[in-house]
A and B are shown apart, each in its own frame.
Chain A
Amino acid sequence: MELTGALPGLLLQVGLGVGAAVVLLYILKLRRRPIAVPFSRLWEAVLKDKESTSLFSHLKRLLSLLLQLALLALLLLALGDPRKKVQKSEGRTLVVLLDASASMKAVDVDADMARVLAGDASEDEVRRECQPGSPELERARELGVDCDCLWMTPEGARLETESPRLRSRLDAAKDEVRALVAAVGGADRMLLAQMDATVTPKSTMTNDPVELGKALAEVHAVDVRADFSEALRFAKDALRGLPKAEIVVVGDGALGAVGSDVELGDVKLSFVPIGESERNVAITAFSVRRYPLDKSRYEVMLEVANTGSRDEDVELTLCGDGLLADVKHLHLAAGESLSRFYPNLSGAREKLAGRMRLRGGFVDALPSDDRAYAVLPERKRARIQVVSPGNMYLDAALLLDEYLDVTTVAPKQYPAAGEFDVTIFDGVNPPVAPKSGHLFYLNPGADNVPFKVDKELTSDAKYTVGFDEVDEKSPLLRYLSLGDVHIARAHPLLGEKDDKAVGKSFRGALLLQGRRQGQKFVALGFDVRESDLPLRIAWPLFVLNVINDFVEEDTGYISSFTTGSVWHLPAPAAVDTATLTLPDGSERVVPVKDGRAIFLGDTAGFYALASGAGSAAESSRFAANISDPGESHVAPAAELVVKGVTAGTLERFTVGVQPEIWIYILLGVLGISAIEWLTYHRRLTV
């Protein structure tokens, strides 16, 4: 027997202090209530009998004192939490890693769904109704079994094609862990951790079923891949130095390979498999982009996969801003992956959603990967001021984008009235007026420019001036090539240290990009009319790339992020925090560093990022998708192998061991106190 609770030294101190107080109270004579009687002699006969038993009374008093001291000793013993050594040594220490990755949202463990998946029943036969806002509907949405445009009835009161009251693999896993918690013995300890892209301990190392129950209730599945290596490292660290260490993995086993640095050592690994079916189709890639030369139109790329072992006929639907854009019927062979392009789409301004479902009224195991989301880059109407004596090629290039408001002024009329996002100086370089925006110089002179203009280069028989070296990753040169442009005359441009030479001849930079006090500039060191550049498709692309770069309208916009990774979202550099609205409508404040909001996304759907306040307020939208073929392979693993070692099955706990002696001590103390109280008030012991 040993004390596992309060330290013996502390118990001794408390016992001495409280014991001394108890003895002192007994030594101090009890102050009795004075009562007057008319004739005390009448009490003498009574009191004479009492006096004859005074010795017994003293003895009873002493016994009462001893009883109180015994109760105190028992209470202190209970605080010490005594346990048998053999019981303590037999206890197991477990870290339960509960898989909460996207594949755990699979609903193949649902009884009705299992019938559907097995082909024993159609979805119509097991359809269940729910009310908008009801827990069943919320639950269905949490599992990804909802649609945000087409598949709801106009009233939104009933899901037409979904079975909302579904039971996911995570629910089944929770049931397993719940049974595990119920079976844990008094000497055992358990730590519950949620395993997804990170590892989140949900409880302490305890055997308290209430705490473990609460921890279990906090676990929820997210749309990410589980980082099994990190989870094993965490579990190994948590179990270091503890007896009978054991890691229990509860999940479908789709956890991927383990890093080379993970060593289990003496820690036992157990696996509780979850899952029934492997029938699943998924959208594994979804991307959208606007056409650079016609930004009102866009194209969509979709990749769908059948990760099951049977051929599937699927219906692929595309929605733009809630309106049906396209429906395709596909046949996917077992394990087949197909890519589909939707060119020349128009109509949608912001949101695109893809949806896939099995034909014939069937649903697959994992509904959450049947959807994909994307956000089109926002269109801005840029105000362009062209200061030029006349340039047909420039005017033609600017006409290609209907979202440009072009104001052309002669050099002498500069500046034009109003405020502009971009000012293009075509062969002129007057002093820059306020409200000119960013600056685009074509063949600039030496004065009033934020760079130096070198002496002229001229093509001759030996050397043709051109771009000998270009920065192909520069957004100014996206979708175009300047390698074989021939230039008759040019002036090399000399920028400052932080300026960037995007295109250079071997004698100097011809395309210079930089920033002065927040004002961007791009300079082309030759007159395009003295080159063959205007005759190429590269010219209008180049002009529009420059303007897009100035107004931060990026044709390379990321239409969707992938869950499970840290997102760096564009945000104003002047703010420290931004408010991120999650797909479920909840808001979260995220930090902003170097103009990027940082967030670890774990849920697929549409997001909104807002920052700043008042006139400086800015907002943007983006989307996130699972886009993880690994998570779409929902076939449950029968066994879990880590570094060649197969995880064993979970051994049952020893039932009936109840080492919580302190509870019985406390009950004993309460019982004795109750008896003492009763006997005292019935004057049996006084």
Chain B
Amino acid sequence: MGVLDLFRRAAAPLSRRLSPAQKEELFDDEFQRKLDYLAMVSKRVFTGAIRAERRTKRTGSGVEFADHREYAPGDDFRYLDLHAYQRFDRLLLRLFEEEEDLSIYFIVDNSYSMGFGGGAKLRQAKRLCAALAYVGLANLDRVAIVAANAEISGRMQSTRGKARIFRVFRFLERIQADGPTDLGTALRTFVAQHKRRGLAVVLSDLYDPAGFEHGINVLRYNKFEPFVLHVIDRRDKSPPLRGDLRLYDCETGEEREVTVTAKVLERYGEAYEHYLEAVRRFCVSRQVSYFPADVATPFDELILRVFRRGGFLR
């Protein structure tokens, strides 16, 4: 493969370079073009590593004026503000905002519960992750993906640039539902492995026996900005169960004997709604961005409308 081929391949629409399965699984050319105009919104400003399109706290060689400061010997004369010197008779140095990249971490829950019911939730999480990762890569952000259940079961190193989207795809393809959920433990490992702070997008159903709060709090306490994309399958609310059953948790194997009646199912539905409300209330109260992502909602609609309307994308 020559250099020209590589260029053609890089310049070709994304869908043309994808296998049919990937096209089916991810997104088409039209959707891809729409994603090119999107960018993820971070409420906080993080320190970047290299120059990019994100504002940072640092001042430097950017084009956006930031502030003045007193001239000190050794400063570059080019940045002296001569207009201010004429008006105020003071040597003031012009400071410019440094534009750096943003680290975005996608934490994909790949526990058993995500694969429950045909794997619709994991599939939805993968699609969302792929789309959002493309948005990040298109904005020259550093994108890293980890698969987490009770531990970090997979990790894709940080990468930048749209051309790296295939690496994202390949990594996502390898993710399988496996193991129990313990986001608290897994994300403690995550924060230990990733010193550079940034956005942490958690894609999970939050079926964490230890409590969904632990994982989110770990991110909060370690200066990450957590975004919770709560993957919801409404079929979990009204399972087709009837009669005398022995229910066991697909992750922990914990068993419960129950006689499922219409009344019990009704109460279960209420408990499910209470659980969703508890998650939403927790995130809102902690100023954590929370977006429910129903598997029944087409993921392009989620990306282009719901997330934009919610301020997650712009």
Which residues does A use to contact B, with CB under 8 Å?
A: 30, 32-47, 49-50, 683, 686
Q: Is the Cβ of B259 less than 8 Å from the Cβ of A39?
A: no
Kindly list the 4 A-B residue pairs having the minimum CB-CB distance in the complex, ordered from nearest. Answer: A683-B261, A40-B249, A39-B207, A38-B116
A44 to B254, CA, bound (A): 11
Q: Is the Cβ of A46 less than 8 Å from the Cβ of B258?
A: yes
Residues in chain A near residue B296, CB distance under 8 A: none
Residues in chain B near residue A40, CB distance under 8 A: 247-249, 252, 254, 256
* 0/1 string, B240-270, CB within 8 A of A gives 1: 0101111111111011111101111001100
Q: Is the Cβ of B247 less than 8 Å from the Cβ of A37?
A: yes
A44 to B275, CA, bound (A): 12
A552 to B249, CA, bound (A): 105
Residues in chain A near residue B113, CB distance under 8 A: 38-39
Residues in chain B near residue A46, CB distance under 8 A: 258, 264, 267-268, 271
**Size of B's binding interface in residues, CB under 8 A:** 36
Q: Return B38 CB to nearest CB of chain A, in Å.
A: 31
Residues in chain A near residue B116, CB distance under 8 A: 36, 38
Residues in chain B near residue A34, CB distance under 8 A: 245-248, 255
Residue of A nearest to B274 (CB): A45
Q: Is the Cβ of B257 less than 8 Å from the Cβ of A32?
A: yes
From A39, A41, A50, B264 is in contact (CB under 8 Å) with: A50
Residues in chain A near residue B246, CB distance under 8 A: 32-35
A82 to B253, CA, bound (A): 56
Given contact pairs A32-B246, A45-B271, a sample of 17 additional A-B residue pairs in the complex whose CB atoms are under 8 Å apart: A34-B247, A35-B241, A35-B246, A36-B247, A37-B249, A38-B113, A38-B117, A38-B249, A39-B236, A40-B252, A45-B274, A46-B258, A49-B267, A50-B258, A50-B259, A683-B259, A683-B262
In the complex, which of the residues B113, B244, B246, B247 has the most CB atoms of chain A within 10 Å of its own CB atom? Answer: B247
Q: Is the Cβ of A36 less than 8 Å from the Cβ of B248?
A: yes
Q: Return B206 CB to nearest CB of chain A, in Å.
A: 9
Residue of B nearest to A36 (CB): B250
Residues in chain A near residue B101, CB distance under 8 A: none
Q: Is the Cβ of B236 less than 8 Å from the Cβ of A38?
A: yes
Residue of A nearest to B259 (CB): A686
Q: Is the Cβ of A683 less than 8 Å from the Cβ of B263?
A: yes
A-B contact count (CB 8 A): 87
Question: Would A41 and B262 be within 8 Å (CB), given that A36-B250, A47-B256 are in contact?
Answer: no
* 0/1 string, B278-294, CB within 8 A of A gives 1: 00000000000000000
Question: Would A35 and B272 be within 8 Å (CB), given that A40-B254, A46-B264 are in contact?
Answer: no
Q: Return B115 CB to nearest CB of chain A, in Å.
A: 9
A47 to B251, CA, bound (A): 19
Q: DSSP class of B's interface residues: helix, strand, loop or mixed?
A: mixed
Question: Would A37 and B267 be within 8 Å (CB), given that A42-B275, A686-B259 are in contact?
Answer: no
Q: B209 on the interface (CB 8 Å rule)?
A: yes
A35 to B245, CA, bound (A): 7
In the complex, which of the residues A33, A39, A43 has the most CB atoms of chain B within 10 Å of its own CB atom? Answer: A39
Residues in chain A near residue B251, CB distance under 8 A: 38-39
A605 to B236, CA, bound (A): 90
Q: Return A611 CB to nearest CB of chain B, in Å.
A: 75
Q: B239 on the interface (CB 8 Å rule)?
A: yes
From B252, B257, B267, A45 is in contact (CB under 8 Å) with: B267
Q: B225 on the interface (CB 8 Å rule)?
A: no
Question: Would A38 and B271 be within 8 Å (CB), given that A32-B244, A47-B258 are in contact?
Answer: no
A650 to B42, CA, bound (A): 110
Residue of B nearest to A40 (CB): B249
Question: Would A37 and B264 be within 8 Å (CB), given that A43-B258, A50-B258 are in contact?
Answer: no
Q: B205 on the interface (CB 8 Å rule)?
A: yes
Residues in chain A near residue B247, CB distance under 8 A: 34-37, 40, 43
From B254, B255, B261, B262, A686 is in contact (CB under 8 Å) with: B261
Question: Would A32 and B245 be within 8 Å (CB), given that A42-B271, A50-B258 are in contact?
Answer: yes
A683 to B262, CA, bound (A): 8
Residue of B nearest to A34 (CB): B246
Residues in chain A near residue B274, CB distance under 8 A: 45
Q: Is the Cβ of B259 less than 8 Å from the Cβ of A43?
A: no
Residue of A nearest to B252 (CB): A40
Q: Is the Cβ of A35 less than 8 Å from the Cβ of B249?
A: no
Residues in chain B near residue A30, CB distance under 8 A: 244
Q: Return A65 CB to nearest CB of chain B, in Å.
A: 16
Residue of A nearest to B206 (CB): A39
Q: Return A41 CB to nearest CB of chain B, in Å.
A: 6
Q: Is the Cβ of A42 less than 8 Å from the Cβ of B254?
A: no
Residues in chain B near residue A45, CB distance under 8 A: 267, 271, 274
Q: List 23 A-B contacts (CB under 8 A).
A: A32-B245, A32-B257, A33-B244, A35-B245, A36-B249, A37-B248, A37-B249, A38-B112, A38-B116, A38-B205, A39-B113, A39-B205, A39-B207, A40-B248, A42-B275, A43-B256, A43-B271, A44-B256, A46-B267, A50-B258, A50-B264, A683-B259, A683-B261
From A32, A38, A49, A686, B207 is in contact (CB under 8 Å) with: A38
Q: Return A34 CB to nearest CB of chain B, in Å.
A: 5
A46 to B258, CA, bound (A): 9
Q: Return A522 CB to nearest CB of chain B, in Å.
A: 101
Q: Return B215 CB to nearest CB of chain A, in Å.
A: 15
A155 to B279, CA, bound (A): 102
Question: Which residues from 111 to 128 on chain B have a C-beta closer than 8 Å to any C-beta of chain A?
Answer: 112-113, 116-117
A129 to B257, CA, bound (A): 80
From A39, A50, A686, B249 is in contact (CB under 8 Å) with: A39
Residues in chain B near residue A43, CB distance under 8 A: 247, 256, 258, 268, 271
Q: Is the Cβ of B244 less than 8 Å from the Cβ of A37?
A: no
A606 to B243, CA, bound (A): 77
Q: Return B98 CB to nearest CB of chain A, in Å.
A: 45
Residues in chain B near residue A683, CB distance under 8 A: 259, 261-263
A44 to B247, CA, bound (A): 11
A39 to B207, CA, bound (A): 6
A45 to B273, CA, bound (A): 12
From A33, A38, A44, A49, B243 is in contact (CB under 8 Å) with: A33
Q: Is the Cβ of B259 less than 8 Å from the Cβ of A37?
A: no
Q: Return A412 CB to nearest CB of chain B, in Å.
A: 115
Q: Is the Cβ of A37 less than 8 Å from the Cβ of B250?
A: yes
Residues in chain A near residue B209, CB distance under 8 A: 39, 41
A37 to B207, CA, bound (A): 11
Residue of A nearest to B268 (CB): A46
Residue of A nearest to B113 (CB): A38
Residues in chain A near residue B112, CB distance under 8 A: 38
Residues in chain B near residue A38, CB distance under 8 A: 112-113, 116-117, 205, 207, 236, 249-251
Q: Is the Cβ of A42 less than 8 Å from the Cβ of B259?
A: no
Residues in chain A near residue B207, CB distance under 8 A: 38-39, 41
Residues in chain B near residue A35, CB distance under 8 A: 241, 245-248
A33 to B112, CA, bound (A): 21
In the complex, which of the residues A38, A46, A50, A683 has the most CB atoms of chain B within 10 Å of its own CB atom? Answer: A38
A40 to B271, CA, bound (A): 11
Q: Is the Cβ of A42 less than 8 Å from the Cβ of B243?
A: no
A37 to B245, CA, bound (A): 11
Residues in chain B near residue A36, CB distance under 8 A: 116, 247-250
Q: Return B290 CB to nearest CB of chain A, in Å.
A: 18
Residue of A nearest to B265 (CB): A46
Residues in chain B near residue A41, CB distance under 8 A: 207, 209, 249
A33 to B244, CA, bound (A): 7
A686 to B248, CA, bound (A): 21
Q: Is the Cβ of A686 less than 8 Å from the Cβ of B244?
A: yes
Residues in chain A near residue B254, CB distance under 8 A: 40
In the complex, which of the residues A30, A37, A46, A47 has the most CB atoms of chain B within 10 Å of its own CB atom? Answer: A37
Question: Would A33 and B256 be within 8 Å (CB), given that A38-B113, A42-B275, A46-B268 are in contact?
Answer: no
Residues in chain A near residue B272, CB distance under 8 A: 42
Residues in chain A near residue B250, CB distance under 8 A: 36-38
A30 to B247, CA, bound (A): 14
Residues in chain A near residue B249, CB distance under 8 A: 36-41
A35 to B268, CA, bound (A): 15
Q: Return A677 CB to nearest CB of chain B, in Å.
A: 14
Q: Return B116 CB to nearest CB of chain A, in Å.
A: 4
